[in-house]
Structure 1
Amino acid sequence: MKVISKEEEQEHFGVVMRGGLIGGTVGLALGLAGVVGASRRYPAFRSLTLPFRSFLVSSAGTFGAIVLADRYSINYQRSHDQMNNYLEATHRAAEQERRAHTTEWQRLMEWGRENRYSIVFASWLASMGVALALVGRNKYLTRSQKLVQARVYAQGLTLAVLIATAAFETADAKAGRGRWETVMVVDPNDPTHQHMIEKKIHKEDYEGQDLWKQMVAAEERRLEEQKRQQEAAAKAE
């Protein structure tokens, strides 16, 4: 297992902070622009309280900071792990070979299966915006009625997308293509190590994808054991 140095740790921290600052700034800018634009365009949105609109802006900034910081962290780890680069290249080559023998419809269905949750979230946002635009044209409805109708329309479309997502999940579970699989492992609370329990784990796309997680867990156990030994030695003295 590769043990990172103090310099690498500081470099990684700087990369994550830079990603968080960029994502937070972009998120705040987009959130502020969206709230200002919606306030000018839709009377129903303008009727929302100032604290709630501020919450929408800050939420966009927080979301952007978290997402981009995480991506910067993952990219840094991948760029400094030669074994991971080798596995990624091998996986990409095998994936390109497999995709070369699939139709456009199959690739579209596979893309929808892999990005199902992003599609659900994006469809809710899009449907809410479209519903507000359509309902906002009705001059005979009050602001609260427009918001209620827009939410109903958005929930209807989101429910349809969720049903399609559930169908994907069911099909994946039956075909064994899901992101998670159930395996039998030794019960960690059993001192005899004879009792087996079921555990839901991430299903690797290729062998060794989650190897880094096992290495980190093993290193944490080693450090914890070393700490206990040092404490025991200190008490003995």
Structure 2
Amino acid sequence: MKVLTPEDIAGHRAATTKGAIRGILLGAAISAPTFYTLQRRSHFYKQLPLPLKAFGVVVVVVPCFSISAEKAGEAYEREQWTGVGKQELDAKAQAALDRWSSLDTWGKVKDWSKSNKWGLIGTSWASVMAGSFYLVNRNNAQSFAQKLVQARVYAQAWTVVLMLAVAFTSGYSTDEEVPQLKNTDHSWREILEQEGYMKPEQKQKEPLKTPSEK
């Protein structure tokens, strides 16, 4: 395990700060023209109180800020890997890429939905909530609370349908699919072998198995 030096900590902090700044700029680039257009063209948006408008900006900028900073920090950490550790990470990344390339279109849809199901559900819920509220807002006979409840009902109905679809694409398997054996991570053993820390008789031994692997 590599011991962090003050230079490593400073480099990580600098990379994270740069990522955070990029995220803030991205969030501002998205929110500024969007809310400016709403302010010019939407009568409903003009009537909203200033704190609620500010909250809308925060909802856009803060996720961009936090995600960009986190990704920048992770990228910096990956750049610091050297030697056998980096080779192992590169080999796993290449194996994942080869597996993705071997999937057909339906397999890629299932794999992507399984890996991003919560983000997919959350984004879809917010989008349907905004779209349905935009539609029901045209009905002047309803109050604001009634419109909000109706939009929420539409969004919840869509969320239920989407969750069923994600469950289907994530868990459904066809007869052509070959069951995959459980992938046990023994990368630590490969690293020790490549570094020369294992004796010849140790290399012949089977890796230790956890109770769940037996």
Q: Does the alignment reach a TM-score above 0.5?
A: yes
Superposition deviation, residue 22 in structure 1: 1.5
Q: Does 1:94 align with 2:95?
A: yes
Deviations along 1:45-103, one digit per CA (max 9) or x if unpaired, are: 44332112212212322221111110000000001112453223212332343334432
Aligned counterparts of 2:183 and 2:7: Cα–Cα separation in 1: 31
Give the match for residue 23 of structure 1.
23
Aligned counterparts of 1:76 and 1:205: Cα–Cα separation in 2: 27
Aligned counterparts of 2:185 and 2:135: Cα–Cα separation in 1: 46
Unaligned runs of 5+ in 1: 178-202, 210-237
Superposition deviation, residue 166 in structure 1: 5.3
Q: RCO higher in 1 or 2 (8 Å CA, sep ≥ 6)?
A: 2
Superposition deviation, residue 18 in structure 1: 1.0
Aligned counterparts of 1:170 and 1:100: Cα–Cα separation in 2: 20
Q: Which runs of structure 1 show a deviation greater than 6 angstroms over 4 or more consecutive aligned residues? A: 168-172
Unaligned runs of 5+ in 2: 174-178, 189-214
> How many residues are matched?
181
Aligned counterparts of 1:59 and 1:39: Cα–Cα separation in 2: 17
Give the match for residue 162 of structure 1.
163
**1:111 aligned partner, one-letter code:** W
Deviations along 1:135-178, one digit per CA (max 9) or x if unpaired, are: 23445444443333222212221232234445677779xxx99x
SS in 2 for 1:4: coil
Give the match for residue 85 of structure 1.
86
Q: Confirm or deny: 8 A CA contact 1:28 1:58 kept in the other structure.
A: no
| Mean CA deviation greater in 20-29 or 119-128 | 20-29
Give the match for residue 234 of structure 1.
none
SS in 1 for 2:103: coil
Aligned counterparts of 1:84 and 1:43: Cα–Cα separation in 2: 58
RMSD (Å) for aligned C-alpha atoms = 3.2
Q: Confirm or deny: 8 A CA contact 2:111 2:170 kept in the other structure.
A: no
Aligned counterparts of 1:84 and 1:38: Cα–Cα separation in 2: 51
**1:6 aligned partner, one-letter code:** P
Q: Confirm or deny: 8 A CA contact 1:17 1:69 kept in the other structure.
A: yes
SS in 2 for 1:157: helix
**Percent sequence identity over aligned pairs:** 25
**1:13 aligned partner, one-letter code:** R
CA pair 3-153 structure 1, distance change in 2 beyond 3 A: same
Give the match for residue 56 of structure 1.
56
SS in 2 for 1:3: coil
Structure-2-length-normalised TM-score: 0.69
Give the match for residue 131 of structure 1.
132
**1:18 aligned partner, one-letter code:** K
Q: Does 1:117 align with 2:118?
A: yes
Superposition deviation, residue 131 in structure 1: 1.2
SS in 2 for 1:63: helix
CA pair 96-163 structure 1, distance change in 2 beyond 3 A: same
Q: Confirm or deny: 8 A CA contact 2:109 2:169 kept in the other structure.
A: no
Superposition deviation, residue 23 in structure 1: 0.7
Superposition deviation, residue 208 in structure 1: 4.6
Give the match for residue 145 of structure 1.
146
**1:52 aligned partner, one-letter code:** L
Aligned counterparts of 1:162 and 1:39: Cα–Cα separation in 2: 34
